[in-house]
Amino acid sequence: MTASADGAALRLELRIDTHALVDLMAQLEAYAARHEWSAALAHDVRLVVEELTLNAMAHGQQPAESGWIRWTISATPDGVALQLEDGGVAFNPFTGPPPDLESPLEDRHPGGLGLHLVQALTTQRHCERRDGQNRLTMTVPSRLSGHV
């Protein structure tokens, strides 16, 4: 994993590897502490970053060993701006049917709850596919859960 922080943004590039996820989360924790995020905001950002990273690792890379993910994370006055780029297969996690939350568990199809949670925790979501890369941008607003 390569990391850089320019005072305003944290930029991380990692290979598709579960060890890289541990490093990513440690870098994110340090960035959150430097910017004095509330515990609730830090929790929501961690959850969104982890869910989208694991999704890209599990489903987006062909072949997995050659895949990469790039995060840019920026503290803003209104919350945290996130940008995820990857070279995986085309996928827009912000579209598709919502998960079934009403049927008994044994009747539901697996999957979709993590992306549903990402959508619930973020605003200003945008996805584009350009030059063989996916680019997702979104904001975890500090106002959703009363984050300070």
Query: Minimal CA–CA distance to 53: which of 27, 17, 26, 29?
Result: 17
What is the Cα 99 distance to its own chain's centre? 19
Strand partners, 13: 2, 70
Mean pLDDT, residues 44-59 taken together: 90
Average pLDDT over the chain, rounded to an integer: 85
pLDDT reading at 63 higher than 60: no
CATH number assigned to the domain with residue range 2-141, chosen from the 4 options 3.30.565.10, 3.90.79.10, 3.40.50.1360, 3.40.50.2300? 3.30.565.10
Domain boundary assignment for the chain = 2-141
What number is the average pLDDT over the span 62-74?
Answer: 78
Q: DSSP letter string over 56-125?
A: IIIII-SSGGG-EEEEEEEEETTEEEEEEEE-SS---TT-SPPP--SS-GGGSPS--HHHHHHHHH-EEE
Evaluate if residue 120 carries a pLDDT over 60.
yes
14: nearest Cα among 41, 44, 49: 49
- Which amino acid would we find at residue 20? A
Report which of residues 20 and 146 the model is more confident about: 20
Residue 147: the pLDDT is: 47
Highest mean pLDDT: which range of 8-22, 60-74, 89-103: 8-22
pLDDT of the residue at 134: 92
The residue behind tokens 């910017």 is 35
Q: Has residue 8 got a pLDDT over 60?
A: yes
Mean pLDDT of 96-118: 79
Q: Which of 55-64, 83-92, 110-119 has the lowest mean pLDDT?
A: 55-64
pLDDT at 66: 63
* pLDDT for the residue numbered 50: 94
Q: How much is the average pLDDT of 120-130?
A: 94
Most confident of 15-19, 51-55, 88-92: 51-55
